[in-house]
Amino acid sequence: MENSNDNICLPLPVTISNWFTTYKQREDYLVNFLKNILPSSDVKDIDEELRKLFPLTKRKGKVTNKPEKSSLMAMRKCIRLYLNQTKTYIQYKQMVPLNSLWLGYMHHMLGIKNFTSLPMNFTHSHWESINHRLIKADFHGAIITIVKSKCPSTIGIEGIIIQDTKNTFKVLGKDNVIRVIPKASCIFRIHLEHNVYFDVFGKELCIRPTERSVKKFKNFQIPDL
């Protein structure tokens, strides 16, 4: 047993180690071989040709450190993430003025002095143009309730829209809790005045808020819910 243990620590006999080749040896062998075979005019180019890299070679070229992505974006992301953490710091009472600001904006947007003069039926002459304007409007600060939904637990939630993403609304309820509601499976009722409201299929709002102001909408869409 002792003998075998000693054998492990000993260097390998020369006869065996000759069998092994290292990377450098193989490279030298290749260069020598090429120098012998190629005509004398091409010998100069051997070094250059070997240095070239091919798409599937195992050896990689020098990895240059890419400059880090602009710190501006990282900064913005940090602040955006902050929004999810500070849930309890927004209070419903403080956000009520935002809704009155939004109502003033909607007056300008629709070009109407009173919301009661909005068209009620599709037979009205302004029906289409007002629909077009409504869907391009901004919904931050609107008071909404959910009328119908595929998910029964979300029905009846009421609150002010705080954030508007592609597939969700973030709604601040009267109990100062922010809820995330998926748009696609809901019908929203957006309140304008005391008794004036309009119902919207959530599926038609599934656009990023910045893209909404530019996108062109089809006149007729078949709602599926």
- Residues near another protein (CB under 8 A) are 72, 75-76, 79-80, 82-83, 86, 89-91, 94-95, 97-98, 101-102, 104-105, 107-109, 111, 113, 133, 136-138, 140-141, 162-163, 209-211, 213-214
Task: For CA atoms 214, 218, 220, 223, give the dihedral sign.
Answer: negative
CB atoms within 10 A of CB 143: 20
Q: Put the strands of the sheet holding 143-149 in their side by side order.
A: 178-182, 168-172, 158-164, 143-149, 186-191, 197-201
* Cβ distance to another protein smaller for residue 109 or 187: 109
Point out which residues pair with 148 in neighbouring strands.
187
Q: Rounded to the nearest whole angstrom, what is the least distance from the CB of residue 140 to another protein in the complex? A: 6
Q: Rounded to the nearest whole angstrom, what is the least distance from the CB of residue 155 to another protein in the complex? A: 27
Q: Rounded to the nearest whole angstrom, what is the least distance from the CB of residue 186 to another protein in the complex? A: 22
Q: Rounded to the nearest whole angstrom, what is the least distance from the CB of residue 51 to another protein in the complex? A: 43
* Cβ distance to another protein smaller for residue 149 or 160: 160
3-state helix, strand, coil in the chain (%, to 5): 45, 15, 40
* Cβ distance to another protein smaller for residue 36 or 114: 114
CB atoms within 10 A of CB 84: 11
Residue 183 is encoded by which pair of tokens?
């748009």
* Cβ distance to another protein smaller for residue 138 or 204: 138
* Cβ distance to another protein smaller for residue 149 or 183: 183
Q: Rounded to the nearest whole angstrom, what is the least distance from the CB of residue 118 to another protein in the complex? A: 15
Question: Distance between CA atoms of 208 and 61, rounded to whole angstroms?
Answer: 42
